[in-house]
Amino acid sequence: MIEIKNLYKSFNKLTVLDGLDLVFKDGGIFAILGPNGSGKTTLIKSILGMVVPDKGEILVNNSDVIGQWAYRNDINYLPQIANFPSNLTVIELINMVKNLRPKEAKETELIATFGLEPYLNKKLGNLSGGTKQKVNLVLTFMFDSPLIILDEPTTGLDPISLIHLKEIIRKEKNEGKTILITTHIMSLVEEMADEIVFLLDGKIYFKGSADTLKTQTKQHNLEHAIASLLQS
């Protein structure tokens, strides 16, 4: 379980997280939504230890993780931008990441799922954005971790790869994993998420299911429900 208590973070005079209180229970898919600048990325990076909050607590399994590092080995993280060393081949990158993490890796099936066999010996700098994103997904899911954080996971994916990604996410959920997703694709949220957290100006404006949000805003689809939140 992840518990966030009274979390504050400012960059210069800009307050990005403003006294955030939030709980993600074990197991399930949680969509973190909000417009650009709402605090989504700062929240994720705070959980990952990449940003140090000005104030507050982040508890993972009841232990305060601010300033710690070992807990990160139980997190799989997909960054929004697949920014890899351009001079490495795909297989060199996969092997390098395997050597860096003290966990068993299961990459073979994922490579086949995303059709990456023809690209294994190609330089990352020569790959399209969509192919780089498939490599990104292999690196994310090849380790077994209880917490998975996916930042805009659908970027650049073709329809078949998107279907495979959804299947993988469902499989991880069925194994009891906790999955946090940021995305601007509302159809993905409506199809996959058990709960929505909507951030605006560093505060939580809604937390609950997509159906609850649609009922609360008297809208028939999620996009219009989110628009209602922004206009309220």
pLDDT, one tens digit per residue, over 19-60 is: 999 999 999 999 999 998 899 999 999 999 999 999 999 999
Q: Which residue has the tokens 């190609």?
A: 122
Burial state string for 149-182 with b = 16 or more CB within 10 A and e = fewer than 16: bbbbbbbebeeebeebbeebbeebbeeebbbbbb
Say what the pTM is: 0.94
Mean pLDDT of 166-185: 96
The mean predicted confidence, pLDDT, of the chain is 94
For residue 180, is pLDDT > 80?
Answer: yes
Looking at residue 37, its pLDDT comes to: 85
Mean pLDDT of 143-161: 95
Give 213's pLDDT tier (boundaries 50, 70, 90). very high
| 2-231 carries CATH number 3.40.50.1370 | no
Give 229's pLDDT tier (boundaries 50, 70, 90). confident
What the block records as the tokens of 199 is 């951030």
pLDDT > 70: percent of the chain: 100
Looking at residue 231, its pLDDT comes to: 83
Looking at residue 67, its pLDDT comes to: 87
Q: What does the alpha-carbon distance between residue 13 and residue 139 come to, in Å, rounded to a whole number?
A: 36
DSSP 67: T
Helix (H) or strand (E) holding 14: strand 14-24
For residue 232, is pLDDT > 80?
Answer: no
Looking at residue 204, its pLDDT comes to: 94
Chain segment 75-120, per-residue pLDDT in tens: 999 998 878 999 999 999 999 999 998 889 999 999 999 999 999 9
